[in-house]
Structure 1
Amino acid sequence: MYNFLLPKEFVTSVYEITPEKLEKLGIKGIITDLDNTLIEWNRHEATEEIANWIKGMEEAGIKVIIASNNNEARVKRFADPLGIPYIYKARKPLGAAYLAALKQLGLKKNEVIMVGDQLLTDVMGANRLKLYTILVRPVAESDGMVTKFNRFVERRVFNSLKRRGIKTWEEKE
């Protein structure tokens, strides 16, 4: 019933995603959400840990691009100091941003993962294009107004998954 919302993996944070793990999967690129995936939705700059995670990926030859539904100023302020490309106003779950990200990365669908914190935008959109999807636990407990509705729907999906015996990051702890 919810297969289009089901990610391939659930992780508690992006730090569980390592170059070694991605190399085993044949992955050469990461499309990642920004808000509540890499940093809190109301934080502007990268933490030292996130900057090091991105640097580690790039040093391992894994390209990183941000695809965010947020505005250009918000995404640019985060991405420019790190020197990583980005797509703003991505309109996820629609597919155009994912296709644009693949083109910018110069990679094929089977060489890229999508990492995000929302089922209804990040996972659903990437699953529609048959990308490998990883859902992370949101970095912050609070959300912007639009995301609050998505979280309500996600709760219902997670409860259904639990009843079906599918473990999410909630059961990993």
Structure 2
Amino acid sequence: MAVEQYMPDFAVERAYDVTLASLQKEKIKAVFVDLDNTLIAWNNPDGTPEMRQWLHDLQDAGIRVVVVSNNKYDRVKRAVEKFGIDFESRSMKPFTLGIDRALKRFNIKKNEVIMIGDQLMTDIRAAHRAGIRSVLVKPMIQSDSWETQFNRWRERRMMKKIVAKYGPIDYKKEI
């Protein structure tokens, strides 16, 4: 398992630190974002006012936001419908199924999109496999749903390998 496959292109504290200016500088026209612990805390479905403002700013600028989540359709729909954003559920990350579906569905070129997520093992790995740039964020809260806990254990092992090869990941304030 090559460390490079899990190394994010960018790392920021939170998804909302991916600024409109930085997206425009990178010529990004779409943002794929994980749902739980990235866009919203897995136990807070309403999100924060800051998150709602971020979505509003991106949408106003014509940047499409698509949630790409491994969760079931009903769970993702319930979580994002109040924000008026598109989604792909049952994405099967670390495989590229959801990313590929979203690219095709919205006619997005790979060099015009980034994937933002809080997990190396699913979000970052899927982005690399799909050939798109990745942004690692710190999880919004430290507790995870039970399904995610096994991935976190694997992720800690991979993070040690990344640190050994490249040094600690430097979380910036924007991409």
Q: Structure 2 length normalisation: TM-score?
A: 0.92
Partner of 2:15: 14
Instruction: Provide the identity percentage.
Output: 38
Tell me if structure 1 keeps the 8 A contact 2:120–2:136.
Answer: yes
Separation (CA, whole Å) in 2 of partners of 1:46 and 1:146: 21
Q: Secondary structure at the match of 1:110?
A: helix
- 2:37 matched to 1:25? no
Greater shift after overlay, 101-110 or 163-172?
163-172
1:93 aligns with 2:94: yes
Who is 2:137 aligned against? 136
What is aligned with 2:45?
A: 44
Distance in 2, Cα, partners of 1:90 & 1:113: 16
Q: Which residue in the other structure is 2:36 paired with? A: 35
Residue 120 of structure 1 contacts residue 150 of structure 1 at CA under 8 Å; is this kept in 2? Answer: yes
Aligned AA for 1:6? M
Contact 2:12–2:171 (CA<8 Å) still a contact in 1? no
C-alpha deviation, 1:126, in angstroms: 1.0
Using the TM superposition, give the Cα deviation of residue 106 of structure 1 relative to its aligned residue in structure 2, in angstroms. Answer: 2.0
**Corresponding position: 1:111 with 2:112:** yes
Unaligned runs of 5+ in 1: none
CA distance in 2, matches of 1:3, 1:163: 12
Structure 1 pair 165–99 and aligned structure 2 pair: CA distance change class (3 A): closer
CA contact (8 A) 1:29 1:105 kept: no
Q: Is the CA contact (8 Å cut-off) linking 1:5 and 1:119 kept in structure 2?
A: yes
Q: TM-score, normalised by structure 1?
A: 0.93
Alpha-carbon separation, structure 2, partners of 1:169 and 1:40: 22
In 2: Cα distance, 1:100 partner to 1:42 partner: 27
Counterpart residue identity of residue 52, structure 2:
A
CA contact (8 A) 1:136 1:169 kept: no
Partners of 2:108 and 2:75 in 1: how far apart? Answer: 26
Tell me, yes or no, if the aligned pair for 2:6 and 2:125 is still in contact at 8 Å: yes
1:95-149 CA deviation, whole Å, 9 max, x = no partner?
Answer: 1210111123321000000000111111101101110000100001001122111
- Structure 1 residue 169: deviation in Å? 4.6
Q: Give structure 1 regions of 4+ aligned residues with deviation exceeding 3 angstroms.
A: 169-172
CA contact (8 A) 1:30 1:63 kept: yes
> What is the DSSP-based 3-state SS (H/G/I as helix, E as strand, rest coil) of the residue aligned with 1:114?
strand
Tell me the C-alpha RMSD between the 2 structures: 1.6
SS in 2 for 1:164: helix
C-alpha contact (below 8 Å) 1:14/1:38 kept by paired residues: yes
Rounded to whole Å, the distance in 2 between the matches of 1:117 and 1:142 is 13
